[in-house]
Structure 1
Amino acid sequence: MKEFFTNADFHVASFVGPSFTWCNNKEGSSRIWERLDKCLLNSSALHLVPFGKIKHLAWVASDQSPIVFNLDVRKINRNKSIRVEDTLRSYPAGWSNVQNSWKKADFGEEEEVLHRKLKRTLRALFLWNKNKCRDLYELLEELKSKIMELQIKEAAGSRLASDDLLMLRRMIHELNITVRRLST
């Protein structure tokens, strides 16, 4: 296999994250860790994407950790958007924002009143959503880093205590709930 890689000009790219990409999900001495997934690049690809980055993500939903190859690791400006559709329904504060913004009295032509109420309501929802979703994104990043720390600790050869394994499973469950909430 090594001879094939050399002849075909393939190189196993370095990575960031946990050392292993698969676990048999057993406990104690029967727990097995392996690095099954690798990213291979030839010399041309290495020159085309000098900012490329391979990252082993934390395994959450299965026994295998996904790997990601980002072609460009520089920051990309994202468009600002309002994500309130179903999330709005799950928080009573979202509804009260709409009601309070809409109840304010306006005077003038009907079109102008409607325009001002819509603008005021969207502004209130934007600010509420920005704060609420920022909290969820911060929670998501915090959970990811804690999960990654525990998985790196375990992959480094030290067995996790049963309390740590329980905490890892609890954090994975909470991460899935947070992702589900953000996806609405």
Structure 2
Amino acid sequence: MDVVDLSRNNVLCKITAMNGKIWHCLFLYGEPNVDHRVTLWAELNILLQPYTNYIIVGDINQVDLYSNKLGDANLIRGWEEFMSWKHALQLKDVPFCGPRYTWTNNRDDSDLIMERLDKAYASQDWFDEFPATIVQNLPIIQSDHGPIWLQTTPKPSNPNRPYQLENWCLRYPEVVTITRDIWQLRIAGSPMYTLARKLDSLRKHLKAWCLDKKLFGGINWRKIFSELQNQASQVQTITQGAALVMRHRPLMNEASLALTYWHQRIKDRHLQLADIPSKFLFNRLRQKKTHNYVYILKSATGEWVENHTEIANMIQSHFENLYQASARGSPTVNNNGEEIDLVLRD
């Protein structure tokens, strides 16, 4: 990067990429005094005339839209001169994301003024080169200005999909109660309007209920086992036995619902990550590996073998005999051999 021009209000830099492409970036501090801005726009117009592929970024110190101003008088001073300069250079607004207002006077109540002063403009050639360019507005923290972040290749954002009611929710009686209560509401209007309002209200109530009911921990089987064991050890009468059964049912229902919930979480994460080499994938593989273990194996003679080394030798010997070489030197498959019977013991 080389500095082409330097002044009190701007720094024009020439940027050369590794592939040899060249573009220019003008870092601008707009004139705070509105009476002096016309002179600045004229100087920048002359400065940028030789270039076609450039971007202007910084504290422009000029509001160009009423939507970028909050508070104070409705009149935007210096607007006509700025728009004339902008149109003369055929500048285009760089889209932004984040907070709209990047400057505040830090006053209270009706004296508060907020404006979007920090932004970027670019030429058409720039957008042809970097069509995805955006400016990310960051929050105002220490200064009266918020920092902005220019991104030529922003990371693609994952679109928020509509909230979905999951299967585990349908097993709670509260869901039926919420649905029944909302459906019995009296709403004035046409049948389609009434249906739309009820569906919208039902969606909001069910979403709030699901988020409030969402589980943030696993199933504490140790706690359930301990509680049932303590209560079962004290059973000596029919009444105590009935109390144990009454306590056992809600505990198992709650555990079953939690199990359904976490199965749904695993399914969602699998759909999102698929076979990406992630921590989630390797944890799943380790879990499957513990289940895919041969504890006992039946030999060709009908004997059950439990020794790990003998089981490995049996499997190796079986496949060596199965894919043995024939007299002509080509491998043959012995279809008449004994089949290996695997038995997994819990």
Q: Please indicate the TM-score interval, normalised by the length of the shorter structure.
A: 0.3 to 0.5
TM-score normalised by the chain length of structure 2: 0.21
Q: Choose between structure 1 and 2: higher strand proportion.
A: 2
Larger radius of gyration: 2
- TM-score of the pair, normalised by structure 1: 0.38
Higher-helix-fraction structure: 1
Greater RCO (CA < 8 Å, at least 6 residues apart): 1
